[in-house]
Each structure stands twice: as C-alpha cells, then as structure tokens.
Amino acid sequence: MVGLYVRDQDEAFAFYVEKLGFRVHTDVRNGDYRWLTVQHPDQPSFQLGLFTPGAPTHDAGTAQALREIVAKGAMPPLVLVVDDCRAAYDRVRARGVEFTQEPVDRYGTVDAGFRDPSGNG
Amino acid sequence: MSQDPELLRRLLRAKDRMDAASDEDWPVQRLARVSGVSAAHFARSFKEAFGVPPHRYLLTRRIERAAALLRDTDLSITEIAFETGWESLGTFGRTFRDVTGKSPGATRARERAAPYDLESVPECFLRAAHRPALTIAVSEKRRREACGTKGSEETEVA
C-alpha cells in the first residue's frame, strides 16, 4: 500500500472510484480519523491510500504545510500503467479528469499527464 | 509564509497550462483568468508559491522545450525558435545562451553525443526536471557576466 495526501477524502474517493475505475478496499473511521484505501480491479495486490493531513496525525502547522505542498503539485509522481494510453485518455477525460499533458509518443510508448482534484499528478 | 491551499491549487492550474503550451503567449491577465484571481494578485501569489515570477517560469519551460527539440529532432534552429514561442531567432539565440551558457548549435552537438537513457521517465516529469534553474532574471545575469562578477548572494529581480 502506498498513501497519497488529498485535500478531501470524499472528493478523492469519488475521483479515484468514479473517474479512474478504482474501488474501495478499506474505509474505517475512528472519530476524526478515517483510514481510506482503494484498489484497482486489474491490480488487486496494490492499495492506494487516500489520507488528509490533520489531527490526530499532524499538528496544525504541519497539516497546513502538507496541504500547501499537495496543492502546489509538489508531491512525487503517481503513475498508472494502462494498455492503451490514448483510449484511457479519451475515456477518463470524458469523465472530467484534468489533464496536464496530452498523450505523447516517445520511444515506442505513449504517456499523458493528469492531476487529481487535490493536485497530485 | 502561509498560502491558502485552495488558491495554490488554482495557481497550479495556470502553471500546468503554461507547461502544456509554453509556445503560446501567457500574459499575466490570461494566467490570472485561469486561476480566477486579479492580475496583481496572481503575479505576487505565483512567485510566492513557486519561487519565480510567472514570465520567468515560462522562459525556463521554453528553454527546456528548445533543448529537447535540439536533441530529439532535425528541425533547424530557426524552426525551433518559432516552435517554442520566440518571435525572432536573434532573441532566442541570445536568451538561450544567456540562460544555459551554450549556444543552441553547441547544445545540439553536445546533447546528441551524450547517451540518453530516460525513456522510462514520463514525459511531463522529464520536462519539469530538465527546466533550467533560473534563480535570477536574465537581464541581471547578463549584467553580472558583463561585470565579470558571479556573486554568491543571488538577488531576486522580477
């Protein structure tokens, strides 16, 4: 499992499930804390965690710094491997995914860039 | 210095738009519209968020594109200048040299001789990584080089 910081777990859940085709793996709450992970049907061994910065994990200053870093797109790359990049681009773009780069053909492979609502790309 | 994450996300959108189309003109008004803020607010907030003024950020993106086209294509230097958003070959050549320290022709020769093994890095991250670090304005860089000083303390000139 690898986690991402997101600005809002409901929004992130809707994005990864409804727009990118993930499904919920674990969604448990304890007070303000919510452990939320999703997985893709094509790679059930992998979970993607969607976490918000904040109490009780972070103090207020750290949480604010993390929110700023995410919103600036400064978190590390998130890469999805698909069979047909152009088809996947057309499909998820039609669902409203924000693309930062159209599909580009390089050295026999095609890649495109997108961001989630929080700024992860 | 703390900035509103919601504003930062909208500034990032303007930065992404420049990345995707660095050959286009991006006056502050146009960028500010993408971010949904006033032009004055945009210029100030962008620099605070990303460390460089928006026009200088765009310049580094154009230099990166030009360097990649010099390496990867057989386009002439004139074609590359127009393809990457410059209005004259002279301005392109001078700015490219001032920023990177080498002329476009010398860059092409050197880059083609060097091994290249970054095929597996996604294009948008590669582009971001190859952007020159332009911590001072080009005019300031020219002035310092004309004076023969390097100056360890870099001064931000918008």
Q: Tell me the whole-structure pTM to 2 decimals.
A: 0.89
Buried (b) or exposed (e) across B85-98, using 16+ Cβ within 10 A? bbeebeebbebbee
| pLDDT at residue B155 is higher than 60 | no
Count of other CB atoms within 10 angstroms of residue A105: 11
Task: Report in angstroms the alpha-carbon separations of B11 from A60, B24, B41, B46, B64.
Answer: 23, 18, 11, 6, 21
The mean pLDDT value of chain A amounts to 96
- Judge: B124–A67 Cβ closer than 8 Å, yes or no: no
Instruction: Kindly give the pairing relationship between strand A2-5 and strand A43-51.
Output: parallel
Lowest mean pLDDT among A88-102, A106-120, B35-49, B110-124: B110-124
Backbone angles phi, psi at A41, to 5 degrees: -55, -30
Is residue A72 within 8 Å of residue B52, measured between CB atoms?
no
**Is residue B144 scored above 90 in pLDDT?**
no
| Chain A interface test: which of B1, B4, B6, B9 (most A C-beta within 10 Å) | B9
Residues A71, B123: C-beta atoms closer than 8 Å: no
In whole angstroms, what is the distance from residue A5 CA to residue A22 CA? 17
Q: Are A77 and B119 a contacting pair at CB < 8 A?
A: no
| Interface contact B12-A113, CB threshold 8 A | no
Distance, in Å, from the CA atom of B5 to the CA atom of A70, rounded to the nearest integer, reads 8
Closest CA to A96 of A18, A4, A5: A18
Lowest mean pLDDT among A112-116, B53-57, B142-146: B142-146
Cis peptide before A56 (omega within 30 of 0): yes
* Chain A CB contacts of B12 below 8 Å: 71-73, 115, 119
* Stretch 98-127 of chain B: residues touching chain A, C-beta under 8 Å: 119, 122-125
B94, pLDDT greater than 80: yes
CA A6/CA A117 separation, integer angstroms: 8
CA angle in degrees (0–180, nearest 5) for B157-A119-A85:
115
Whether residue A119 and residue B125 make contact (CB cut-off 8 A), yes or no, is no
Q: For residue A100, list chain B residues with Cβ-Cβ distance below 8 A.
A: 16, 19-20, 124
B46 Cβ contact partners less than 8 Å away, ≥ 6 residues apart: B11, B14, B15, B31, B53, B54, B57
Question: Nearest Cβ partner of B12 from A79, A113, A119?
Answer: A119
Q: Give CA separation, A67 vs A107, B2, B27, B33, in Å.
A: 36, 10, 28, 23
Q: Has residue B150 got a pLDDT over 70?
A: no
SS3 of B114, please? coil
In chain A, what residues touch B130 (CB-CB under 8 Å)? none
C-alpha span between B9 and A115 (Å, rounded)? 10
Q: Which residue in A83, A57, A40, A43 sits closest to A5, CA to CA?
A: A57
Q: Using 50, 70 and 90 to split pLDDT, how confident is the model at B141?
A: confident
- pLDDT bin (cut points 50, 70, 90) of residue B149 is low
- pLDDT band at B126; cut points 50, 70, 90: confident
Contact at CB, A121 and B124, closer than 8 angstroms: yes
Q: What's the pLDDT score for residue B157?
A: 47
| Residue B1 pLDDT | 74
Q: How confident is the model at residue A32 (pLDDT cuts 50, 70, 90)?
A: confident
- Which residues in B9-97 belong to E strands, given as ranges? none
Closest CA to A106 of B26, B121, B31: B121
